[in-house]
A and B are shown apart, each in its own frame.
Chain A
Amino acid sequence: MTALLRAEAITKRFGPTLALDALDLEIGQGEFFALLGGSGSGKSTLLRIIAGFETPDSGRLLLDGTDIAATPPWARPVNMMFQSYALFPHMTVADNVAYGLRRAGVKKAEAASRIAAALAMVGLAGFERRRPHQLSGGQKQRVALARSLVMRPRLLLLDEPLGALDAGLRERTGFELRALQRETGAAFVMVTHDQEEALALADRVALLDGGRIAQVGPPREIYERPASRFVARFLGAANVLEGRAAQDRFDCPDAGISCAGAIPADTVAIALRPERIRIAAAGEGPNTARGIVQDVAFRGDDSLVLVDLGGGATLRVAHPEEGGPPPDRGADVTLCWEAADVVPLPS
């Protein structure tokens, strides 16, 4: 992977708030990259710095090896799709898409064919004369995409691209975004607070926390192997159990359980995914636990079972439908899991 964009020790403060704390990041050519994080994590600030709307206090931002940290937004070969779409209300769809080409001085004939191609690509051929207020939310989003893509950016920034769409439209639009990204070969950098969206769409995900990157990697890797308690909790709400590492063992005194497996000595907690825990008839020893069913929630393809282990510890267990009916509330159950499913967390 050759790096298209490289952020080196980017720091940004807003008054007393540290929005980005010496952040390093590399985004490859033609990569679909997601910046994931909660509000205040710095993900939007980073996107705005890449677009040029904010200047970092320190650090370098290299695009193809050239530092663009001080380049104004109108001179950057980077385009952005705004969360609110920011379509120009006084212009038609065609004029909106033509806006960037006019600024770049593209000849009329070439501009016309590029506009037609961009609108066809997002499935809006025939909408040229409409105005933004005559479009649905999904159509506005497509115009915004076409307006950015017509510039043929090497790097397209997407600020919560699916955030303003209905649930039904999100999945379809997500697949379309990926298809567009493959078709154009541009690198897409998406900001989102929704981990499902990030995991489903991106080639790589960076999870931000307090202006730093908590973990970066392919979706499966950061989902399966979270590097910290924060990552484990943020992604898919894993069970995080505090305790002490011993030789090839991890003891959680609160929950009264002990996990056997390859546990490094610096482990401070373990993560256990709800779907990796099984409800068994009986069992004892390491990698098992006993508890009382606190509540059961039906979720369609599985049921979420909350099991009280005593001592204030609760495990979330995903009980699949094919595993038979879930236990009743108040039932005394035994839980077990494989040693390989225990994820040691060093921080």
Chain B
Amino acid sequence: MRNRLAVLLPAWAWLLIFVAAPAGILGAIALAEADPGVPPFRLAWSTAGFAMLVADDYYLGAFLTALRIAAMTAGLCLAIAYPMAMGIARARPDRRLLLLALLMLPFWTGFLLRVGAWIGLLRDEGWINGLLQGLGITDAPLPMLYTEGAMLVGMVHAYLPFAVLPLFAAMLRLDPTLLEAAADLGARPAVAFATVTLPATAPAAAAAFLLVFIPAAGEFVIPELMGPSEANLVGRVLWQEFFQNRDWPVAAALAVSLLVLLLVPIRLFQRLEARP
């Protein structure tokens, strides 16, 4: 009993200090009243911050945009991850490790550096526009950076491995003779994929979707650095409220709302993971 406690104590202490306490402080600020002093709030039992989120469509819009972009990112990641996962799973066992290492290779570079690299590629004076103009294909720079497309490229690039890994594990578990049986019964490869591979890997696909969707919904850096200025995702709005408007109760209320909202997909993910 004492040993058990000794093992668990650091973990509980960690959770208390770095999860429970900040969450408590966040909740307290969300219920506080805005005040022009330092710190910019006064502890109270006020629901003004939450009331503001409901009253102003701007915040609802921020949530919807964030959910839409997160869903698009997760969808694109799935579409790209399926063939990648299938390719890696079908590769010779000694090649698989290499391919997985290549998949994780971008993580060896800092996140901001990778975003910076995309900016270098996509901006008006960037490599792609330079190449297009140099070859005479276009005579003016194509506006690529600061578009929703650029934002999605950045997000997909950042989160793709999270989608590939669970799908790869599912593909590895998929019995290849099932696909042979499908072919034997008259299914062309595309039909066999749709009727056998897809249903058999559906739980993993849902898990992959959620693994991308959950962090993407609160993403701030990529929309800020690569997205259009009007793309007010909830992460960005949160930042604005906190640092520009210095309205901490509204910012905290936003953060609490996002957290509660994301509990739904997190719970879904846990249920998928718990399945046999």
Contact = CB atoms under 8 A, between A and B. Distances in A.
A53 B181 CA distance: 10
A99 B195 contact: yes
Interface stretch (B29-37, B63-71, B182-190): B182-190
A53 B177 CA distance: 10
A127 interface: no
A75 B200 CA distance: 24
A74 interface: yes
B180 interface: yes
Contact of A100 (B175, B177, B185, B199): B185
A172 interface: no
Nearest to B188: A74
Q: How large is the interface on A (under 10, 10 to 19, 20 to 34, 35 or more residues)?
A: 20 to 34
Nearest to B198: A90
Nearest to A83: B177
Interface residues of B, number: 17
Contacts of B175: 84, 86
B200 A73 contact: no
B25 interface: no
A79 B185 contact: yes
Contacts of A78: 184
B246 to A, nearest CB: 54
Contacts of A87: 181
Given A84-B177, A90-B200, A99-B195, A79 B183 contact: no
Interface of A: 51-53, 72-75, 78-80, 82, 84, 86-90, 99-100, 103-104, 147-148, 151
Given A73-B180, A151-B185, 16 more contacts: A51-B184, A52-B183, A72-B183, A74-B185, A74-B186, A79-B185, A82-B181, A84-B175, A86-B175, A89-B178, A90-B199, A99-B187, A100-B185, A100-B186, A103-B185, A148-B184
14 contacts: A53-B180, A72-B183, A74-B184, A78-B184, A79-B185, A80-B184, A84-B175, A86-B177, A87-B181, A89-B200, A103-B186, A104-B186, A151-B185, A151-B186
